[in-house]
Amino acid sequence: MTGQAEASGASEGSPVAPLITATGVSFQYGSAQPALSGVDLEVASGEIVALLGPNGAGKSTLLQLLLGELVPTAGSVSSWVGSEARVGGVGYAGEETAHFDALTGLQNARFFARASGLPRGDAALAVTGLLKAFGLAAEADKAVSAYSFGMKRKLLLTEALAHAPRLLLLDEPTTGLDAASRDALEEILRDRCRQGAGVVLSSHDLAFLDGLADRIVILHEGAVVGAGRPADLLESLGTATRFEILLEHDLPELPEYFGEGVTLVDEGEPLVFEAARGQAALPDLCAALVSGGASISGVSVREPGLPELFRRLTGQEFSQ
């Protein structure tokens, strides 16, 4: 992995062969700043890899490179499932929905399933089951031109999933989904992985990813800045709560004691403290600063978790 992290491989010691591998992949749109720089990624059968990063970090570009829609300007992508949307191949759902608006949802979904190589009977069965799972069965015979954004998103996912691809590439798949459809998608992805599929998805929905992603890859300005199993990444944060405190003016000398279990870790602006006993330590901390002559103008509380990991690695707040 280029830079600070490695984003390849299934669980340690696993003999599972990869479905797709990106090696040193870079991509640049014209003369613009590179969208991706030296990214390595390996996705194995049965695992879900989540891409996190600020807007413009290169997540969608990486998915399109894995799909084969874009060709790397450097590095290579090797796939063992083929790049075409065929049975056992690749299923892709991007941020943009593209359908035949004059056809019904059912006609659209069956068309794409048949185009992917599913026999007519299998296509009908797969599509019907997915439309029902996403709560779209009652609207299946309506023209797509009458669909809401959320309905079009459900149809797009149906089309990506119907031909039972071995590799799923999903760009913000929960966008536009209601809670029930979101839960259905989670269960479908788990089931597909149990059957040997691999999934790469980008998402700002941390609640959706919690407990679902086997590995997380964090991108920032086109490079991987963190990668690994969620538990391993979060372990690097420790268990302490962080407080960032802004003062109206500098103190000549900071107090020596900030309360039980509170440690000053950065004397910059803002002051950064860590507290082993969590937010319960904040009143004592503030009291110690005020008694030392401080005027507090702002307090930020940072609990250990994916949003805080994201912030430390990218320097940006995570926005859902």
For the domain made up of 239-303, give the CATH fold. Answer: Alpha-Beta Plaits (3.30.70)
Q: Give mean pLDDT, residues 65-75.
A: 95
Going from N- to C-terminal start, the domains of the chain cover 18-233, 239-303
Per-residue CA distances from 82 to 18, 79, 95, 159 (Å): 13, 6, 22, 18
* Residues 260 and 282 sit within 8 Å (Cβ to Cβ): no
Q: Cα–Cα–Cα angle for 233, 172, 107, nearest 5°?
A: 145
- Answer yes or no: is pLDDT of 319 > 50: yes
Which pLDDT tens digit goes with each residue over 300-310?
A: 998 888 888 88
The mean of the pLDDT values for the chain is 90
Q: Which residue in this structure is represented by tokens 């009291």?
A: 287
Query: Is residue 25 helix, strand or coil?
Result: strand
Q: Count Cβ atoms within 10 A of the Cβ of residue 167 and give its class: 0-12 exposed, 13-18 middle, 19 or more buried.
A: buried
Superfamily of domain 18-233: P-loop containing nucleotide triphosphate hydrolases (3.40.50.300)
Strand order in the sheet with 74-79: 36-44, 18-27, 74-79
Q: Which residue in this structure is represented by tokens 């031109």?
A: 145
Say how many CA atoms lie within 13 Å of 247 toward its Cβ. Answer: 18
Query: Is residue 205 helix, strand or coil?
Result: coil
- Answer yes or no: is pLDDT of 154 > 80: yes
Instruction: Write down the pTM of the prediction.
Output: 0.80
Query: Is residue 106 helix, strand or coil?
Result: helix
Which pLDDT tens digit goes with each residue over 194-231?
A: 999 999 999 989 889 988 999 999 999 999 999 999 88
Task: From 116, 91, 287, select the one nearest 171 (Cα to Cα).
Answer: 91
